[in-house]
Structure formats: C-alpha cells, structure tokens
Amino acid sequence: MELLEKIIFFVVAIVCILVLIGIAWNFLKISDSQTEVKIQGDKATIINRITNLIYKCFGDNEGKRVSVICFQVDFKSDGEIYSSDILSKISNSKIDKNNVFVDDLGLSGKIIIRYENQSIYVKRVEIEGTSS
C-alpha cells in the first residue's frame, strides 16, 4: 500500500508541475506577430501593406493608454509614397483618419508604426551618421 501511495503522490506532483508550467506559459507568452517587416514592390502594394499594418496595430491596442511600437518596416517602392497616399486608403469604418499621422515616406527607407493614446503614427526613421 505504501508503494501505491508514493506512485499516486508522484503522479499528482507531475500533473501539478505541468499545470503550473501551462499557467506560466500563458502569462509570459510573447505575441506571435512579427514586428520587423520587409516590403518590396510597386507603390500600390506598399501602401496596401502599410495600411493593413496600421489596422492591425490599432486593433491590437485599441482602448489602451500606452505608447507601443507595433512594427518596424523596411520598404522599397517603385514610386514616391506621400502621406496623402496612405491617408486616402484608410477606411473610416476601421479607424478615424483624424487619428492617423503619417510622414511622407519617399521611395525607400525604414519606418515605425506606433500606437499612442488612440492614435497611430507612421514615422520615417532618419539614420544619423557621423562625419569626420
């Protein structure tokens, strides 16, 4: 009987450890979304991808009072991309255009899509260099 009790306690201990690992995994789980994105192609494709990333960023953070960098995007387009190009593609049914602030992006470069206090910011990242 003593051996049976030890086996039962051992099995219960293993089950408890597995449950605790599962709970910890859920609390510490890192989002599956990829934050670094590379886009290359024609102007329309780039604008559509950036617009979809704006929707995703807003949807994932809507209602929060924080500042979050959702995506870092490295893009290369065949045509100049202006803020008006992206803003004209934004659907007011998904996000209020007045809450989206976009820089002129140019032909290529790096941008950050950031959520802050119910607004989305699409900012061009300027790379600073040192000169001798």
Q: Is the pTM of this model over 0.85?
A: no
> Residue 126: what pLDDT?
78
What is the DSSP secondary structure assignment for residue 66, as one 8-state letter? S
> Residue 28: what pLDDT?
66
1: its two tokens:
């009987």
> Could you report the per-residue pLDDT of 93-110, keeping only the tens digit for each?
888 889 999 999 988 899
> Residue 34: what pLDDT?
61
- What single letter denotes the amino acid at residue 86? I
Domain residue ranges in the chain: 1-30, 36-124
Extract the residue ranges of the chain whose pLDDT is less than 50: 32, 132
- Nearest-CA neighbor of 105 among 57, 41, 46? 46
> Residue 37: what pLDDT?
86
